[in-house]
């Protein structure tokens, strides 16, 4: 198994991380892999952590009764999957399905939240990395909602 500390530091989401913080994070991390087609999470299930994708693509899907599920977004190599672990009640807000064979670093949320309580430096570092991600995703959702290609630009 590759060393989670090196894998974490090498992932774009944690690029340039202070080595001591990287070490603490690695204590909550392990490598995982999933075959294509596997659901990595289901809407409503406890969000026990997040994944840093190293290889492969996942789809965030919303199921609809009697209709095909809709793909909200795809996430690719170098991206982070899962933000529901940050905010109570810590439950996945959509399904996550592997489109390809996936290799990722899984980070355990309970472990991370526990460490952040006692290590404000770690908590602040996480805040600085997750907050821009939330803003980027919010902006992307706004743009999707506008349906800029569909309707008149008036």
Partner 1 sequence: MRSPDPFVPSLFRVDRVWRESADTVTLGLLPIQGEIPAFRSGQFFMLYAFGIGEIPVSVSGLWGQGPLLHTVRAVGPVSQALCRLRPGDTLGVRGPYGSPWPLPQAEGGDLLLIAGGLGLAPLRSALLPALAERERYGRIALLYGARSPADLLFGEERGDWSSRGDLQVEVTVDHASPAWRGSVGVVPARISHTRFAPERAHAFVCGPEVMMRYSAAALLGAGVPPARIFLSLERNMKCAFAVCGRCQFGPTFVCRDGPVFSYDRIARLLSIREL
Ligand X SMILES: Cc1cc2nc3c(=O)[nH]c(=O)nc-3n(C[C@H](O)[C@H](O)[C@H](O)COP(=O)(O)OP(=O)(O)OC[C@H]3O[C@@H](n4cnc5c(N)ncnc54)[C@H](O)[C@@H]3O)c2cc1C
Interaction site with partner 1 (CB under 8 A)? 57, 59, 61, 68-74, 76, 78, 97, 99, 136, 139-140, 143-144, 146-150, 152-153
Q: Kindly write down the DSSP assignment for every residue of 47-113, as one continuous string.
A: --EEEEEEES-EEEEEEETTEEEEEEEEE-TT-EE--GGGSTT-B-SSEEEESS-EEEEEEEHHHHH
Contacts with ligand X, 95-134, as mask; x by CB under 6 A:
----------------------------------------
Q: What are phi and psi of 8, to 5 degrees?
A: -60, -50
CA distances from 33 to 29, 57, 79, 94 (A): 13, 12, 15, 20
Choices 32-40, 71-79, 84-92, 146-154; region in contact with ligand X by CB under 6 A:
146-154
Kindly state the smallest distance separating residue 17's Cβ from partner 1, in Å. 18
150 in contact with ligand X (CB under 6 A)? no
121 binds, among partner 1, ligand X, none (CB under 5 to 8 A by kind): none
């Amino acid at each position: 198994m590759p060393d989670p500390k090196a894998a974490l530091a090498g992932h774009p989401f944690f690029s340039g991380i202070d080595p001591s913080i990287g070490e603490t994070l690695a204590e909550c991390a392990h490598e995982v892999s999933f075959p294509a087609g596997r659901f990595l999470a289901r809407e409503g299930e406890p969000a026990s952590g997040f994944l840093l994708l190293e290889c492969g693509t996942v789809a965030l899907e919303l199921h609809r009764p009697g209709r095909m599920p809709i793909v909200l977004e795809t996430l690719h190599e170098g991206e982070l999957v899962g933000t529901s672990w940050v905010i109570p009640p810590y439950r996945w807000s959509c399904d996550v399905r592997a489109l390809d064979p996936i290799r990722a670093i899984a980070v355990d949320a309970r472990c991370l939240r526990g460490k952040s309580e006692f290590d404000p430096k770690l908590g602040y570092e996480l805040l600085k990395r997750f907050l821009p991600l939330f803003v980027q995703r919010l902006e992307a959702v706004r743009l999707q909602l506008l349906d800029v290609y569909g309707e008149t630009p008036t």
